[in-house]
Structure 1
Amino acid sequence: MPYGEPLVLPGDSFRILHVSTGNVCRSPITERLTRHALAARLGERVAGGLIVESAGTWGHEGAPMEANAEAVLADFGADASGFVGRELLDDHVIRADLVLTATRDHRAQVISMGHSAGLRTFTLKEFTRLVRAIDPATLPDPVEAGVVERARSLVRAAAALRGWLLAPSVEADEVYDPYGAPLPFFRSVGSEISEALDPVVSALTGVPK
């Protein structure tokens, strides 16, 4: 199998859950940018083994994405269609293999729900920082072992590093809420999210941007 087309075993999957407050701004942007980046690196068929979802701790159940969030996704060429807001439920956390939150407060709320979520829940920027410190050579080969096993190993490695690689400041782990802000601020947040996602997607897939 050519490099860049990792194997996904039938029925094998890895769920990534992005969490923010209302699930109409930050987490939809992060969800759709993650899907877009995975498909660009792996192709739609192979990326299907990595399931990307989102929800909100005070989620606007059934609500559409904010118009400015859609505009940000359009800037990146990512698909905003068909999105529906969700309130974060226990089942979402139970099924997730990796939970990435917009802020530390969201992370604390997810962990407080239980379900052994602590070792697989990070803020997005925290996970990015940890991933940058992991030697890709120590992770399973995405072609031989598959992207799902590689993703599981990445989460375990990041969890092991968490107590050793602290944030330089509280703000370093936060993605601030653009709800109600003008489009330029949404675009700034979108760029911030995209920059944080790039090393994560590279580590997950073994395929550089």
Structure 2
Amino acid sequence: MDTSAPVRILTVCTGNICRSPVAERLLQAGLDQVVPGGFQVSSAGTRALVGEPMQPISADIVRTFGGNPDGFAARQLTPRILRGVDLVLTMTSGHRGEVLQLDASLLKRTFTIREFARMLNVLDQRAAENNSQPAASAQEAASDDESRLAANAALWRGLPARAAGVRHLSLPADPAENDIVDPYRRSPEVYREMEDQLAPAIVSILRHARLNAPVSPDAAQL
């Protein structure tokens, strides 16, 4: 494996036109700002409306948060798409089960997006309480872009195991809190509910990425 290859993240929902595209485009936009070239985010659906664009309200949500919905086309989730993925973030627990039916080897790398975000919040809180530097920031500055990408990839490829280690500290009171509501063919209010559930999870993931981003030589000299 190329140690400096981008971290591959896959988001999954049902039709791949409402929820997972929003997660895909907003995660990609945010992660590109943290470590340019360090991540490759894509999405797929368990029963995708193949070739369809993102739903208009979902596209509006992406634009509102600074992402770009242009050029999106829904894809059907397949074993081939799952091959080589470093992290799978599903919109519901049911989607997680469907991913694992296709590729059981992803058991330790597949989470619902809200579950994963809560785990990262626990890791970040622990780091703050221990007054310790985030893992990657504690490293010496990467000597070049390739080294920085390699450090970022190593961090994120080990992240699922670290996150799973605090799962017991991030369990929701209601298992339904692991899921993102499906707004397809429903009112704009349900899309807003989707946004209210999804946005905090994305913010938590981006915050963790920012706190743990490998330090560039220029930044280290500031």
Question: 2:147 aligned with 1:154, yes or no?
Answer: no
For residues 137-193 of structure 1, give each alpha carbon's deviation from its aligned partner in whole angstroms, at most 9, with x where no partner exists: 453337546322221222220122335542221111010100012223213312321
Counterpart secondary structure, 2:29:
helix
Contact map agreement 2:3 2:153 (CA 8 A) in 1: no
Counterpart secondary structure, 1:15:
strand
Task: Report what 2:16 is aligned to.
Answer: 23
Distance (whole Å) between structure 2 residues aligned to residue 10 and residue 105 of structure 1: 32
| Cα separation, partners in 2 of 1:162 and 1:10, compared to 1, 3 Å | closer
Question: 2:69 aligned with 1:80, yes or no?
Answer: yes
**Identical columns (%):** 31
Unpaired stretches in structure 1, ≥5 consecutive residues? 1-8
1:206 Cα deviation from its structure 2 partner: 2.1
Contact map agreement 1:120 1:159 (CA 8 A) in 2: no
Unpaired stretches in structure 2, ≥5 consecutive residues? 128-132, 143-147, 214-222
Counterpart secondary structure, 1:55:
strand
Q: TM-score, normalised by structure 2?
A: 0.80
For residues 18-52 of structure 1, give each alpha carbon's deviation from its aligned partner in whole angstroms, at most 9, with x where no partner exists: 0000000000011111112223x42xxx4322100
Which of 1 and 2 has greater Rg?
2
Residue 32 of structure 1 aligns to which amino acid in structure 2?
A: R
Q: What are the within-5 Å matches in structure 2 for residues 29-68 of structure 1?
A: 29-39=22-32, 41-42=33-34, 46-68=35-57
Contact map agreement 1:130 1:165 (CA 8 A) in 2: yes
Task: Report what 1:118 is aligned to.
Answer: 107
Question: How many residues get paired?
Answer: 196
